Chain A
Amino acid sequence: MERQTVVDTRFGGMEDHDARERPGWPPLRSRPGFDLISAKLRRPRVRAGTVGRPSLLDRLAREDYRPIVSVVAPSGYGKTTLLSQWAERNGQAFAWVSLDERDNDPKVLLSYVASALDLVQPVGGQVFEALASPASSVPGSVVPRLGSAFWSMTTPVALVLDDVHLLRNTECRDALSVLADHVPGGSRLVLAGRDEPPVRVPRLRAEGRLLEIGPGDLALSREEAAAVLRAAEVTLGEQEVAALHQRTEGWPAGLYLAALYLREGGPVGTAAVSFGGDDWLVSQYMESEFLARISQRHRVFLTRTAVLDRMCGSLCEAVLELPGSAAVLAELARSNLLLVPLDRRGQWYRYHHLFRDMLLAELERTEPGLLPVLRRRAAQWCLRHDRLEEALEYSITAGDVDAVAGLVERIWLPVYRQARITTLQRWFRWLEDRDGIEGHPMTAIGAAQLAGSTGRPAEAERWADVVDRWQYGDGGPGTRPGHPVTGAWAAVTRAVLCRHGVKQMHADAEEAVRGFAAAGVVAPVARLCQGIALVLSGDPDGGDACFEAAIRDGAAVGAPDVIADTFCERSLLAMARGDWSLAETLAEAARSVVRRAGIEEPLVCAVHARIALHRGDAQAARRELVSAQRLRAMLTYAHPHLAVQARIELIRVHLALADLGGARTLMREIDEVLQHRPDLGTLVGEAAALRARLAADRAPAASGASSLTAAELRVLPMLATHLSFPEIGAEMFLSPHTIKSQAMSIYRKLGASSRHQAVTLSRKLGLLDG
């Protein structure tokens, strides 16, 4: 589905450091589909006042035969400082990614990793293509491509991922585990975080490939402690330094906080706290000692701005509603290491994580009611400055359901087209948990669309029910409160889901076409549905006319998936008429649309398979069949006509290639769809004819790769990960027993006797990348 209005979806890039403006940035095709926050890729500068760690740096240099480096310590131990010192001193190229919560979407995380590597040496368009396509599988496609791109880099590079502990998403964690197996000679993978990195530590340790740096290594010695205090312009006697060092146990942040405390005039006796693993103690210290000593003005500033992920002067002023905040920010930044600069201009900052946690704890203690207010102000500032996604995230933390629903309504489609499915699902789930979707029909429509195209038909139906309730709820049948365009979108959703047969689909499509026309909005999907309904009712010429109209409309608007499918429908009609040269032209048009948009559509593969067969090119036909196999799992009864139509065409090709096993598997899937949606017009008859043909063939079929079921094809990419069967089950919401039996079935059909073999064979056949 496409909208007329193009929504600006800045991912929060900072204007003067938009990554795209960097000289030498690769051309459009090989860039990630969304704007990156360039600050995340920026290697932090070594700042004055931090103490050098020569012995650790020497160790890093000496043990360079260990490709994986793990730096694990609680907050405030100087992990980032150490790594930035290493980067400065080391001649090697460094690719840096500072992770945050939003990187729990594998497409987002791996876009940053790919871009970071790309800045060192071009990684190639294939990786970014896989990242940009909503249909591509992360373990099956993106990770292997990124892995081999990394492996083939000739420039030695150290890839640093900072704050790795923030990654909780299983696919993200597994991606790093797989990347660890693809570190080329001379390069390093460096993972820094608060707990053990998501790689197979015991195995790497046993193979001697892991260099581990822990809190014991990072703790400061007494000389280093003295250096920290000196750099903070605090003069103390040797004994006092020793006492401080002992009390903080060498915890760098503790020493620095003590220094700040002493600078504000606090007595040495109470000037230290150690990291006993107890955050509560530390924040008690903060509130009772440290914050009590600084000026009221600064305290208000520090605690209230702690709600911000990133801050600049203007944002601080808006949130605090205090003019002059920009000056306070600049002043604090000059004198305090706990404020980290994010750009070169001195405009954007963030707090050191530990400091921010402390400040937030203090704010929660003293002014708890203020938190949502501050966050709401931040959201509004972001809205005013066109940073819609940041506004959305702040609204989420503020618990502002209506604001979140409104923003999701505006930006879900572009985010979907950027393939950030996990991010979208997070937003929808958040709204669902707070009943935020019921009152917002466009959001429900978006959720239905998302569920439908990610192969979750039951969920799509649930959201369609919500939309129906909105449309026909109070006031009798047909009342449409709200915007008329929403009514048109609701009608299109109903048409696509086709829950009540072809006649109803036609009525819904017509309603949508009328509604869009009345509102002056161009949406080719309505015409496409209208055309399909006509074809399924036995009027191919009427349908063709609608398809032509859809293509005309779509040329201006975008919506490549809709346009490609429309070309395919026209191509199939041409084939039925016997006009193969027209069919081929149309198929080529479909293919160039999806290629240009970097997406994949199963119907395109099916159509091309038939064309290739007609040309006599069995090999090309087989290739198209494999491509279609990769996409088939997403074609469920949520889009019943597409699911059945694509499979019918694929069956025809399988039969022509004498592949009974594949044909039979597809036929069973058609039967499953028809069970849910029995009224699909002429498609039912076509399917019946093919069924009869298959039944008449008495020969047994070999159970080869082409007879992999849709469920097995969904599990197959997961076999390429390092996840165990129970973990795969947890990820896919299936029982481990099911996963095990599906895996065995996959092995048997591929002729493999181990998981590794199955993955290798799948790659050879083209079912997986790598």
Chain B
Amino acid sequence: MSQTARFQETLRRLAMIDEAFVADRAGLGLGPAGTVALDAKTASLLQLAVSVAIGSPEICLHWSTTRALAAGAACEEIADVLLAIAPVVGLGRIVCAAPEVATALGYDIAAALEDPDEL
């Protein structure tokens, strides 16, 4: 195994959203939102919604979706987020985000659309 230079390590861990690293070195508090009135699940769904709205890359969408699942959100609720924000963010954003959110939920849309046996 070759030694990785420090800058390579930094960039790689950022690219894959290594939570501990990002929280520690980038100073971004990625812990659970310290919301009081909003429960953790709602907060995480909001984070996902904003991620979609600002056009975050696929890794961020995967990450936000996984966080929402960990906070107790159901797959239906997560899919509903896209529906809920559509009027405000527009078609482009949610169409872009849908396949990536699906991937994070274990559903490969591209394969499903290709599969001749899929009903």
A interface with B by C-beta (< 8 Å):
660-661, 664-665, 668, 671, 694-695, 697-703, 707, 709, 711, 734-735, 737-738, 741, 744-745, 747-748, 751, 753-754, 756
Contacts and interface: CB of A to CB of B under 8 A. Distances in A.
Given A668-B69, A738-B103, A753 B110 contact: no
Contacts of A661: 70
Interface of B: 1, 9, 12-13, 16-21, 32, 39-41, 44, 58-59, 62-63, 66-67, 69-72, 74-75, 100, 103-104, 106, 108, 110-111
5 contacts: A664-B70, A699-B40, A700-B44, A701-B70, A738-B108
Contacts of A737: 103, 108, 110
A740 to B, nearest CB: 9
Contact of A753 (B12, B44, B103, B111): B12
A701 B72 contact: yes
B110 A747 contact: no
A372 B55 CA distance: 63
A741 B12 contact: no
Nearest to A741: B103
Contacts of B70: 660-661, 664, 700-703, 707
Nearest to B9: A753
B40 A668 contact: no
A6 B62 CA distance: 51
B71 A700 contact: yes
A756 B2 CA distance: 11
A414 to B, nearest CB: 32
Given A700-B71, A741-B62, 9 more contacts: A694-B72, A697-B72, A698-B39, A698-B41, A700-B32, A702-B70, A744-B62, A747-B16, A753-B12
A501 to B, nearest CB: 21
Contact of A734 (B13, B71, B111): B111
Nearest to A698: B39
B60 to A, nearest CB: 11
A446 B13 CA distance: 47
A738 B66 contact: no
Q: Determine chain A's interface SS by DSSP, over half rule.
A: helix
Nearest to B62: A741
Contacts of A747: 16, 18
Given A668-B75, A753-B18, A753-B21, A709 B108 contact: no
A98 B104 CA distance: 45
B18 to A, nearest CB: 5
B66 A748 contact: yes
Nearest to A752: B18
A703 B59 contact: no
A744 B111 contact: no
Contacts of A660: 70, 72
B13 A709 contact: no
Contact of B16 (A707, A735, A748): A748
Contact of B71 (A701, A745, A748, A753): A701
A702 B66 CA distance: 10
Contacts of B32: 700
A661 B13 CA distance: 23
Contact of B106 (A698, A702, A709, A744): A709
Max chain B CB contacts within 10 Å: which of A668, A697, A735, A744? A744
Residue among A699, A709, A735, A745 with the highest chain B CB neighbour number at 10 A: A745
Contacts of B21: 753
A695 B71 CA distance: 10
A697 B40 CA distance: 10
A711 to B, nearest CB: 5
Contacts of A751: 18, 20
Given A741-B62, A753-B9, A703 B108 contact: no
B57 to A, nearest CB: 12
A735 B63 contact: no
A293 to B, nearest CB: 56
A747 B66 CA distance: 13
Nearest to B58: A741
Contacts of B18: 747-748, 751, 753
A703 B66 contact: yes
A753 B71 CA distance: 23
Nearest to A751: B20
Nearest to A743: B16
B62 A735 contact: no
Contacts of A707: 70
A745 B13 CA distance: 13
A711 B108 CA distance: 12
A452 B13 CA distance: 39
A702 B71 CA distance: 8
Contacts of A665: 69
A698 B71 CA distance: 8
Nearest to B44: A700
A745 B62 contact: yes
A703 B67 contact: yes
Contacts of B20: 751
Nearest to B4: A754
A711 B63 CA distance: 17
A700 B40 contact: yes
Given A744-B59, A753-B21, A756-B1, A695 B16 contact: no
Contacts of B74: 668, 671
6 pairs of A and B residues whose beta carbons are closest in the complex: A700-B40, A700-B71, A700-B32, A701-B70, A698-B39, A703-B70
Contacts of A697: 72
A702 B19 CA distance: 11
Contacts of B66: 703, 745, 748
Given A700-B71, A745-B66, A753-B21, A734 B104 contact: no
A429 B72 CA distance: 42
Contacts of A700: 32, 40-41, 44, 67, 70-72
A97 B111 CA distance: 41
A254 B72 CA distance: 72
Contacts of B59: 744
A753 B74 CA distance: 28
Contacts of B62: 741, 744-745
Contacts of B104: 741, 745
B23 to A, nearest CB: 12
Contacts of A699: 40
A664 B58 CA distance: 23
A753 B13 contact: yes
Residue of A665, A703, A707 most packed against chain B (CB within 10 A): A703
Nearest to B76: A671
A665 B75 CA distance: 11
A710 to B, nearest CB: 9
Contacts of A702: 70
A699 B35 CA distance: 12
A236 B51 CA distance: 85
A698 B40 contact: yes
B63 A748 contact: yes
A538 to B, nearest CB: 28
A522 B106 CA distance: 42
A748 B58 contact: no
A591 B53 CA distance: 52
Nearest to B68: A700
